[in-house]
Amino acid sequence: MINKDNGALTQFGNMWEKKAASLNVAYAHGKPVSERGTGCVFCHRITKAEDAGGNTDLTVNIKDRESYLFEDSGNRFLNWLSEKQINASSLQHKKSYSNPELYQSSLYCATCHNEFTSGPGANINDNFGEWLASPFNAPDKPEQHKTCIDCHMTQDVKDFNHKVAGQSTQDGPVKKNMRSHHFAGGNYYFTGMRSAEHKKISIDILKTALSLDVEKSGSDFTAKITNVNSGHDMPGGARRQVWLEVVATDASGQSIFESGVMNDGYIPKSARKFIKVSVDENDKPVGLRFWRYVKIGKDTRIKSGETRLEKFKLPAEIKYPVTISTRVLYQVFAKGLTEKVRAAFPEEKIPEPEVIELVKVVKKYSQ
């Protein structure tokens, strides 16, 4: 348990000193795997998912995996022979790598994506619980029901209802709904380091999440933001900056009202933000020290299916016509965090994550 501390990560626990001995023990049972992070074999050897709140409450069975003759050979001909054995019994191969029921279930994803602190047991991330309570968890209404996999393993992230056919193996059967392994989410910044294509997929899925409508009556202005397409609270992750920007200009082009306009890359404190603030036992925001998290102090994220009303008072005396531009903006990390990382790695020349416009409505009023 990491708590009541303020040291470098290397001081936590004894994983560092023991040089990840537990992982080495696991490897000793199988063969060396040259994979980093959450790779193919790890995911496809998950044989059981518990419903114990996350923190990888799953079973990975690498040991009992059926191996193929010559599969680890460096010889091209022997590798070819090895692949032929898979083709000869493809159904058996498929069965050994994905239990059909488990690999369709949101619980499978929840094992890793739900996180809680080991001490206080506070939920750091509860995408699964939020999804259970969402309109997308509707097993009795197939046209409405969508699992994590339906939205995050689809080839068309702009339209979750559009199933794209394809082949997942050479000369294999054409599947009506061929899954994608992009796992597109909000992090357009990291995926953008991989390629422009991956960045675009991430921005595309983000832009589907919300809808925006506005209403003006006298000096009362209301922005209505609806989480139409995210299967959990929006934003779905930590550290994301999602906020409302309102700018009203009068006939002479003069700005007469502003809210949420960035100042030198910083979001003003007064902005209407959609955010979760985690606090410690003294109700102090934990910031980057996530392990001190005890409870949620403030939560203005928008629930799946919810419409949020943000009300503003415009100045009483206005020279009409007035144009009001309203936008919901998204930034993967705040400038303050980027500055901290830059200071720690000055030689890396870390770029500032750009601001993404999720939705925009511009309206002109004559009274």
Listed in sequence order, the residues at least 6 apart from 53 whose beta carbon sits closer than 8 Å to its beta carbon are 114, 116, 121, 123
Q: Does 45 bind ligand HEC (CB under 6 A)?
A: no
Least separation in angstroms between residue 137's CB and ligand HEC is 8
Count other C-beta atoms under 10 Å from residue 295's C-beta.
Answer: 12
Cβ distance to ligand HEC smaller for residue 163 or 224: 163
Least separation in angstroms between residue 355's CB and ligand HEC is 15
Q: Which of residues 86-105 bind ligand HEC (CB under 6 A)?
A: 98, 103-104
The stretch near ligand HEC (CB under 6 A) out of 3-11, 33-41, 289-297, 344-352 is: 33-41
8-state DSSP, 302: B
The stretch near ligand HEC (CB under 6 A) out of 2-10, 145-153, 309-317, 339-347 is: 145-153
Cβ distance to ligand HEC smaller for residue 204 or 250: 204
Q: How far apart are CA 69 and CA 67, in angstroms?
A: 7
Q: Which of 3, 12, 30, 42 binds ligand HEC (CB under 6 A)?
A: 42
Cβ distance to ligand HEC smaller for residue 44 or 289: 44
Distances (CA, A) of 262 to 304, 331, 334: 27, 11, 11
Q: Does 308 bind ligand HEC (CB under 6 A)?
A: no
Cβ distance to ligand HEC smaller for residue 149 or 361: 149
CA 310 remoteness from chain centre: 24
Least separation in angstroms between residue 113's CB and ligand HEC is 4
CA 356 remoteness from chain centre: 15
Using a 10 angstrom Cβ sphere, with 0-12 exposed, 13-18 middle and 19 or more buried, the burial of residue 186 is buried
Specify the residue for token string 């995996």.
Answer: 65
Q: Which of residues 149-208 bind ligand HEC (CB under 6 A)?
A: 149, 151-153, 160, 168, 175, 178-179, 181, 183-187, 205-206, 208
Cβ distance to ligand HEC smaller for residue 46 or 324: 46
Cβ distance to ligand HEC smaller for residue 101 or 283: 101
The stretch near ligand HEC (CB under 6 A) out of 20-28, 148-156, 249-257, 308-316 is: 148-156
Binding mask 215-254 for ligand HEC (x = CB under 6 A): --------------xxxx-xxxx--x--------------
Q: Which of 45, 54, 106, 260 binds ligand HEC (CB under 6 A)?
A: 106
Cβ distance to ligand HEC smaller for residue 257 or 331: 331
Q: How many residues bind ligand HEC (CB under 6 A)?
A: 51
251-260 long-range CB contacts below 8 Å, 24 or more apart? 251/319, 251/320, 251/321, 251/322, 252/319, 256/314, 256/315, 256/318, 256/322, 257/312, 257/314, 257/315, 257/324, 259/312, 260/329
Quickly list DSSP for 262-286. Answer: -BTTBPPTTSEE--EEEE-TTS-B-
Listed in sequence order, the residues at least 6 apart from 63 whose beta carbon sits closer than 8 Å to its beta carbon are 29, 30
Q: Which amino acid is at 95?
A: K
- Contact 31/72 with Cβ under 8 angstroms? yes
Specify the residue for token string 């996350």.
Answer: 54
Q: How far apart are CA 198 and CA 204, in angstroms?
A: 10
Cβ distance to ligand HEC smaller for residue 113 or 292: 113
Cβ distance to ligand HEC smaller for residue 4 or 48: 48
The pair phi, psi for residue 86, each rounded to 5°, is -65, -45
Contact set with ligand HEC (CB under 6 A) = 38-40, 42-44, 98, 103-104, 106, 108-113, 127-128, 131, 136, 146-149, 151-153, 160, 168, 175, 178-179, 181, 183-187, 205-206, 208-209, 229-232, 234-237, 240
